[in-house]
Each structure stands twice: as C-alpha cells, then as structure tokens.
Amino acid sequence: MEIGLGEYLALASLLFGIGATGFLTRRNALIQLMSIEIMLNSVNVVLVAVNRFHPENHAGQIFSFFVIAVAAAEAAVGLAILIALYRLKKTIETDKADVLRH
C-alpha cells in the first residue's frame, strides 16, 4: 500500500486530538505541558510529510527544526513558572491555583 499525504494527515490529526484532549481534561500542569508537546509534534509530522510531496525547497523540514527548538525554549520557561508555583502552593494542580478568582 502506498502511503499518501492523507494517511500522514490522519496520523497527525490523531496525535493533535490526543494532545488537545489531554490538555483540556487533565488538571496537572505537567501533564498539560506534555500534552502541548504532543500537539507540537503532530505539527512536525505534517510539516515533514508535506515536504515530501513538495520537495522544491525544504521549507517543511526547516520549519520542523524551528518548532523543536522553540518547544524546548517554551518548556524551559514553563517549567520555571511551574517551579515558582510549586514553591508557593506546594501543588501544580491547575484547579488549586485560584487566588485570582477571589
């Protein structure tokens, strides 16, 4: 069976859906961060797959490197914020962070 763009897109959508569901249903900020990473990696799947069908330039592959690099930077800042939160509240459950609602 020849694997075409459609199959890659289906895989990526599945990954993206898993990530989005995880982000929306879980309340642990670390798990939510991991869910976002899954979503970003689903984007990488699309980018690299599309590049195979549009090989004029390497836009997709280059793009995916940038996504990986930026995801790392994002995780660094995010984990720093989570550590600051944990020091103050001894938890990283997002529904326990509620001082701003009162």
Partner 1 sequence: MSMWLVIAPLLLMLVSGLFIMLVDAFAKERAELALVTSVAIAVAGAISLGVLVQGGAPADMPEVLTRYLASDPFAHFFDVAICAGASLSVLLAGGYLREHGLERGEFYVLVLFSCFGAMILARAIDLLSLFVGLETMSLGVYAMIAFRRTSARAVEGAMKYFLLGSFAAAILLFGSALLYAGTGHTDFVGIGEMIASGDAENRLVLVGMLMVVVGLAFKVSAVPFHMWTPDAYEGAVTPATTFMSVSVKAAAFAVFVRVCMVALGDESVMTASGWPTAIAGLAVLTMVYGNVAAIVQKSIKRMLAYSSIAHAGYVMVGLVAAAEIGAPAISAVLFYLLAYTVSNALAFGSLVVMGSRGKEAVHYDDLRGVGRRHPMAALPFVIGVLSLMGFPPTAGFFGKYYVFNAAVQAGDVWLAIVGVLASAVGAYYYLRVIVVMFMQEPEEDQVLAVPMKSGYVATALAASGAAVMALGMMPGWFLDVAIEAARQLLG
Task: Name the site residues for partner 1 (rule: CB under 8 A).
Answer: 5, 9, 12, 16, 19-20, 23, 29, 32-33, 36, 39-40, 42-43, 46-47, 49-50, 53-54, 56, 59-60, 62-63, 66-67, 70, 73-74, 77-78, 80-82, 84-85, 88-89, 94, 97-100
The least CB distance from residue 1 to partner 1, in Å, is 20
Q: Which candidate, 90, 98, 70, 41, places its Cα nearest to that of 82? A: 90
- Closer CB to partner 1, residue 1 or residue 102? 102
The least CB distance from residue 21 to partner 1, in Å, is 12
Question: In Å, what is the CA distance from 41 to each residue of 65, 72, 88?
Answer: 11, 12, 32
The least CB distance from residue 37 to partner 1, in Å, is 9
Question: In Å, what is the CA distance from 43 to each residue of 5, 23, 101?
Answer: 14, 16, 34
Q: Which candidate, 6, 68, 76, 78, places its Cα nearest to that of 43? A: 68
